[in-house]
C-alpha cells in the first residue's frame, strides 16, 4: 500500500465560524485572518494505492460552480484535483473508489464535473461511496446545512448508477481498505477513515478536526450541527489517538499535513507535526 496526498487548492472561510466560541485574540495567533476576517484553509485529499485499487478520499470543491458562488470562497493556489492525481502518477479514469467522508460541497464537489450543460462523473470508472444515514440527511437537508448540500454535487452520483452505500451499523467492512470512526456532531454520520499503513494508523480526520488548532476539546466549529456531541466525539477519538499513537491527516490545515497527539496536564494536546512522506 502507498498513500499519496492530493492537494486541490486553498479557500477562505470566516475565522469566527471556524472556531465557534473561541475568541479571535486566541485563534488569530495560529490561523491569522485577513482584513475581512477570513482565514485560509486547505482542501487536502488522500489517495490510497492498494494493489489494483485506487481509493480517493474526498475531492474538494471542484470547478463547476458559477463565479458568484466561488467568489464567496476565494479559491487560490496552484494545485488542483486532477493535477495532483496526475502528479501522483495516475489519471482520473484509474480511480476505482471515490470515498466521501460527508457531502458538504468542499468535500464532494470535485466528484462531479460539467460536460456542456450535463453533469458527468469526474471518475467514470469509480464506485462512489457514502452511507445511507448520511445520504438521507444530505438529500433532505435541514435549513442550517441546506447551503452546504448542493444537489448538483450529490444527485448525479445516484443517477449515474455508481453510488453504493456502506452500512454504518455493521462492524463488517470489506468494501473499502480501512475501518471507520463515525461522528455525528459536525453532520450526521460523517465517516473518518482509519488506515493501516507502515505500522501506523493514519486517520483522515475530515471535519472532526479541521486543523491542528482544533485539537483542544472546546475548539468546535460554528458549522457543527451538534457542538456538544462534537466535543464528546473529539474527546473519545483524541484519547484513542494519544493511546494508540494515531497519525492524524488533516484535510483543512493550511500548513500541517499530519500530527500526533499526547496526554498533558491540560488534556490532549499536539505532540508533533510532519509530512505524510516522512512516515517510514
* Cβ burial, residue 116 (10 Å; 0-12/13-18/19+): exposed
- C-alpha to C-alpha distance for 10 and 1, rounded to whole angstroms: 28
Give mean pLDDT, residues 183-196: 97
For residues 15 and 51, is the Cβ–Cβ distance under 8 A? no
Residue 173: the pLDDT is 65
CB of 144 within 8 A of CB of 225? Answer: yes
Q: How many Cβ atoms from other residues are within 10 Å of residue 269's Cβ?
A: 14
Give residue for cell 460527508.
102
What is the tens place of the pLDDT at every residue in 76-94? Answer: 999 999 999 999 999 999 9
On average, the pLDDT of the chain sits at 96
- Please give the share of the chain, as a percent, with pLDDT higher than 70: 99
Give whole-number Cα distances, 130 to 162, 166, 168, in Å. Answer: 11, 6, 10
Contact between 43 and 8 (Cβ < 8 Å): yes
The predicted model scores a pTM of: 0.97
Q: How far is the C-alpha of 108 from the C-alpha of 156, rounded, in Å?
A: 12
Give me the residues paired with residue 119 across strands. 114
Give the model's confidence band at 117: pLDDT under 50 very low, under 70 low, under 90 confident, else very high: confident
Cell of residue 59, nine digits: 475531492
Distance between CA 6 and CA 86 in Å, rounded? Answer: 10
Q: Per this entry, what is the length of the chain?
A: 280
pLDDT at residue number 115: 81
For the stretch 130-170, pLDDT in tens is: 999 999 999 999 999 999 999 999 999 999 999 999 987 76
Question: Residue 119's CB: how many other CB atoms inside 10 A?
Answer: 18
pLDDT of residue 77: 96
pLDDT recorded at residue 171 = 56
pLDDT tens-place string over residues 213-245: 999 999 999 999 999 999 999 999 999 999 999
In order of their start, the domains of the chain are 2-278 (3.60.15.10)
Please report the pLDDT score of residue 106 as a whole number: 98
Residue 74 main-chain phi, psi, to 5 deg: 50, 55
The cell for 29 is 495567533
**In DSSP terms, which residues pair with 233 in a beta bridge?**
none
Which three cell numbers, joined as nine digits, stand for 31?
Answer: 490561523
pLDDT of 168 reads 77
Q: Cell match 477562505: residue?
A: 12
Amino acid at each position: 500500500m502507498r498513500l499519496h496526498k492530493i492537494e486541490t487548492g486553498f479557500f477562505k472561510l470566516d475565522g469566527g465560524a471556524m472556531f465557534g466560541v473561541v475568541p479571535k485574540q486566541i485563534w488569530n495567533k495560529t490561523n491569522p485572518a485577513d482584513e475581512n476576517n477570513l482565514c485560509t484553509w486547505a482542501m487536502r485529499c488522500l489517495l490510497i494505492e492498494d494493489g489494483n485499487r485506487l481509493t480517493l478520499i474526498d475531492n474538494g470543491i471542484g470547478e463547476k460552480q458559477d463565479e458568484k458562488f466561488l467568489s464567496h470562497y476565494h479559491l487560490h493556489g496552484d494545485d488542483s484535483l486532477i493535477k495532483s492525481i496526475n502528479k501522483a502518477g495516475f489519471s482520473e479514469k484509474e480511480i476505482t473508489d471515490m470515498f466521501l467522508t460527508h457531502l458538504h460541497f468542499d468535500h464532494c464537489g470535485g466528484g462531479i464535473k460539467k460536460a456542456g450543460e450535463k453533469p458527468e462523473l469526474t471518475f467514470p470508472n469509480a464506485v462512489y461511496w457514502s452511507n445511507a444515514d448520511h445520504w438521507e440527511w444530505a438529500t433532505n437537508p435541514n435549513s442550517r446545512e441546506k447551503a452546504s448540500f448542493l444537489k448538483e454535487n450529490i444527485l448525479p452520483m445516484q443517477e449515474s448508477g455508481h453510488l453504493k452505500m456502506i452500512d454504518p451499523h455493521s462492524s463488517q467492512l470489506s468494501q473499502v481498505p480501512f475501518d471507520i470512526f463515525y461522528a455525528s456532531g459536525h453532520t450526521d454520520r460523517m465517516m473518518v477513515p482509519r488506515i493501516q499503513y507502515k505500522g501506523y494508523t493514519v486517520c483522515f480526520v475530515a471535519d472532526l478536526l479541521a486543523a491542528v488548532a482544533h485539537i483542544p476539546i472546546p475548539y468546535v466549529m460554528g458549522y457543527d450541527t451538534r457542538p456538544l456531541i462534537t466535543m464528546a466525539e473529539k474527546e473519545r477519538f483524541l484519547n484513542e489517538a494519544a493511546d494508540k499513537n494515531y497519525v492524524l491527516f488533516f484535510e483543512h490545515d493550511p500548513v500541517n499535513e499530519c500530527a500526533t497527539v499526547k496526554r498533558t496536564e491540560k488534556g490532549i494536546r499536539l505532540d508533533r507535526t510532519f509530512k505524510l512522506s516522512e512516515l517510514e
